[in-house]
């Protein structure tokens, strides 16, 4: 909006609003870093908060169960294939936990 169709009074009001918004550091930070004030994906914003990260949390739980099942099997048999499978499942579990903690920290606790 370039203001060409606004009256003098409307331009002054718009200038005052813009000045007040620039002075608000929280609003400026929200606009700069995209904190969810204006979501980029409208469908994602309409989903309930618990549903947004449910797939990742479920995957991490499943990987944890797989890793905990493979651990005693790998120790008992010393089979290289089971040891490798446990290693990959454990690494994937840690990566998923890292993503969940990062999302939790970004939300503010």
Q: Tell me the per-residue pLDDT of 8-26, one tens digit each, with 9 for 90 and over.
A: 998 898 888 888 888 887 7
What whole-number distance in Å separates Cα of residue 63 and Cα of residue 55? 12
Percentage, residues of the chain above pLDDT 90: 40
State mean pLDDT over 86-108.
91
Over 70: is that where the pLDDT of 57 sits?
yes
pLDDT score of 68: 95
pLDDT score of 39: 55
pLDDT band at 6 (very low <50, low <70, confident <90, very high): confident
State mean pLDDT over 35-45.
55
Report the candidate in 28, 8, 29 with the shortest Cα–Cα distance to residue 18.
28
**More confident position, 71 or 38:** 71
Cα-Cα-Cα-Cα dihedral of 78, 80, 84, 85, to 10°? -70
The number of helices, as runs of H, and strands, as runs of E, in the chain is 6, 0
């Amino acid at each position: 909006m370039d203001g060409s169709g606004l009256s003098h009074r409307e331009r002054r009001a718009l200038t005052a609003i813009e000045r007040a918004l620039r002075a608000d550091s929280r609003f400026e930070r929200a606009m700069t870093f995209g904190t969810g004030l204006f979501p980029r994906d409208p469908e994602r914003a309409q989903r309930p908060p618990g549903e947004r990260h449910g797939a990742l949390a479920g995957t991490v739980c499943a990987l944890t169960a797989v890793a905990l099942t493979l651990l005693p099997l790998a120790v008992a048999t010393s089979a290289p294939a089971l040891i490798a499978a446990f290693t990959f499942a454990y690494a994937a579990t840690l990566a998923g936990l890292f993503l969940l903690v990062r999302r939790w920290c970004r939300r503010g606790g």
